[in-house]
Chains A and B, each alone.
Chain A
């Protein structure tokens, strides 16, 4: 019942850390994607959300339909000329902090289609954090990209972006 016993019991029940680490832990482990499934990669994105691969284990439980309630935009699929302004509008509607994963070859660089109709890479309109190659990438690739992003978010600290 002395001071040493008090310090002992507190030591086992109290963790000390920095504010940045707590914020990073909180933000990183609950990244909610905004659905931006465009084409074939969207089917693999849905596959990632289903039981075989299960992105919900990593915190992306809720794939929000509204960008205002999402942190992450996974651009999965090819972005055509008509869709590019809408992509930017949805990105602008997301609140800070926000991240973008460009999933697949078409979103990263235009993919198989080097022609007039597609944006040759979604990074021409939005800033991208992680690029995933593949046509389409495996669901596990998307999970890997999410984990890379999570490492980056956790390392970010208090100052976002």
Chain B
């Protein structure tokens, strides 16, 4: 017997054949894509034995945007815009993966000031992504004031984004060849103020949640992911660090100058939702530390590679130099070409290993761009983590996985 899907999606749901306690049937419930607590358009088919979850089957694809196909139709420099939008909570980190991949194929290296600015934007985004996670997870578990507190700080970060790039969210700031524009003095002042004040705000979030008996009861012991299982299913980010494995790409496979910053990898041995919460709080603190160091030793210099075949000349030069006009024209009509080859670059985002695989055939458009999405892989661990928990715990477990459906579906 199979249950036909009434929305016409063509999905056939077959019951597992298991029986519940006292020989009863399992109840199949649809956590539809339109749900307040699934962190996006995730659909779950859940088999319940009373209140206990016996099987969870995620169905994804409700946010499939065809980003990879779209990038094959856009030129190399235009593709940055699409990279912002798949993991929409950490746009500069996605930009960084793509930019590093293209730069590696081209064989260029960006100047030190650009690397430092890239680290600054990545860490700001990491904090902003964890703030959104904390706010929405809090409100799903019932702690509605946490949302207000977290989004207050996120607004500060959005103001900084706007100051440096003109955009609040999808900055497209980090591009192949460098960054979009230099940091303004006002940005550096805002950053200094943020670095001074953020630790106190993280203390506020901890005051609200860490020793809160309701929060602890809803997260301690829930959603266990043993370290061997985490490594087996390819989990990354706080999912694997919350199980005690100190795997952080910024330390083990550093990029963009991360090896020169002094920070700790946040791990916790609890393996449950509470451990992952503590890991993310600690990551916010470490990110503030990195920001302070980056701000202190921000080197002077250019922010872009000095290659006119890759980046347009400054507008003042267009008035006097014919060569500059030709470069400008070629770049904005045809774009630059990348030598044939392929490369994979992985960066550490708020969710885990977000990577960009780029394959070039020597023309001015990519042959294939593939995003290795941390949320896509972490979501596969959901089935193992949610077994034998209650339905209410399922919400806590989906929250702890911190999946961004844009990244899962691309």
Q: Which A residues are within 8 Å of any B CB, using their own CB?
A: 35-40, 42-44, 46-47, 50-52, 65, 67, 77-78, 80-83, 85-86, 89-90, 112-118, 135-136, 138
Contact = CB atoms under 8 A, between A and B. Distances in A.
Contacts of A90: 34
A86 B62 contact: yes
A135 B63 contact: no
Interface of B: 7-9, 32-36, 40-41, 61-67, 69-70, 73, 81-82, 85, 88-89, 132, 135-136, 147-148, 151-152, 154-155, 158, 168-170, 405-406, 409
B132 A43 contact: yes
A113 to B, nearest CB: 5
Given A39-B63, A78-B65, 6 more contacts: A39-B88, A40-B85, A43-B88, A83-B62, A115-B66, A116-B66
13 contacts: A39-B40, A39-B63, A50-B152, A51-B148, A52-B151, A65-B36, A77-B63, A78-B63, A82-B61, A83-B63, A112-B85, A115-B70, A135-B170
Q: Which of B40, B41, B154, B406 has the most CB of A within 10 A?
A: B41
Given A82-B62, A113-B67, A113-B70, A39 B147 contact: no
Consensus secondary structure, chain B interface: loop
Contacts of A50: 135, 147-148, 151-152, 155
A35 B89 CA distance: 19
A1 B163 CA distance: 67
Contacts of B148: 50-51
Q: Which 10 A-B pairs have the closest CB atoms?
A: A117-B66, A40-B88, A50-B151, A65-B36, A115-B66, A83-B62, A52-B155, A51-B148, A80-B64, A82-B62
A113 B66 contact: yes
Which residue, of B136, B151, B409, has the highest number of chain A Cβ atoms within 10 A?
B151
Contacts of A47: 151, 154-155, 158
Contacts of B35: 65
A90 B36 CA distance: 13
Contacts of B34: 36, 67, 86, 90
